[in-house]
Copies of this chain bind each other. A is one copy, B any other.
Amino acid sequence: MSLKDIQQQPGVAAQPPAETAGFVFNHTMLRVKDIVKSLDFYTRVLGFRLLDQRDFPEAQFSLYFLALLPAGTQVPTDDAERRVWMAGIPGVLELTHNHGTETQEGPVYHDGNSDPRGFGHICVSVPDIHAACARFDALEVPYQKRLEDGRMKHLAFIKDPDGYWVEIISNTPLAG
């Protein structure tokens, strides 16, 4: 569908309102059972960097903020400066760890893809989807849908340690 047709869908504002200048879709928050497993998955498997951690000991939870940063990004080391910087970039992932959930048996959180449904997935795009999936295989990452499964051969879904779906797509033109 052409960009012009898309912009004329019912409900779509003709222009972003001037009052929304500087608005940034900053982050998505997911609750996780075992923060060590989640940090390992998001940093080692997917290449996210941990940018901030906030502990709320009385309320027994901690927040972790991660992002996939372009090579060469300079992360401010000053804490106050880093927080303002981090609030201004898109593509941050916030993980909430309610202390103690890691000792519970079995899954603690709901992935949103069975009833009651809602949230569906997050998506990481990659320059070489075949190399990325071969590496996920080597790392024994579980899949919801392999590249070769089903009719959509150009995308995969892997699962994070809580079972949340992470779609993998290409961010470069795919060969015919």
By a CB distance below 8 angstroms, the chain B residues around A68 are 16, 20, 23-25, 90
| Cβ–Cβ < 8 Å partners of A109 in chain B | 116-118
Q: Does A17 contact B (CB under 8 A)?
A: yes
A31, B30: Cα distance in complex, Å: 16
Question: Once the chains are docked, how many angstroms separate the CA of A6 from the CA of B4?
Answer: 45
CB-based nearest B residue for A3: B77
Number of copies of this chain in the oligomer? 2
**A116 neighbours in B (Cβ, 8 Å):** 109-110, 116
Residues of B within 8 A of A79 (CB): 1-3
8 Å CB interface, A59-110 against B: 67-69, 71, 75, 77, 79-80, 82, 84, 87-94, 96, 109-110
Say yes or no: is A175 at the interface (Cβ < 8 Å to chain B): no
Which single member of B24, B46, B51, B164 contacts A124 (CB below 8 Å)?
Answer: B24
In the complex, which residues of chain B have a beta carbon less than 8 angstroms from the beta carbon of A35? 11
Q: How far is the CB of A84 from chain B (nearest CB, A)?
A: 5
A117 to B30, CA, bound (A): 9
Chain A interface residues (CB < 8 Å from chain B)? 1-4, 6-7, 9-13, 16-17, 19-31, 35-40, 43-44, 46-55, 67-69, 71, 75, 77, 79-80, 82, 84, 87-94, 96, 109-112, 116-127, 131-132, 135, 162, 164, 167, 169-173
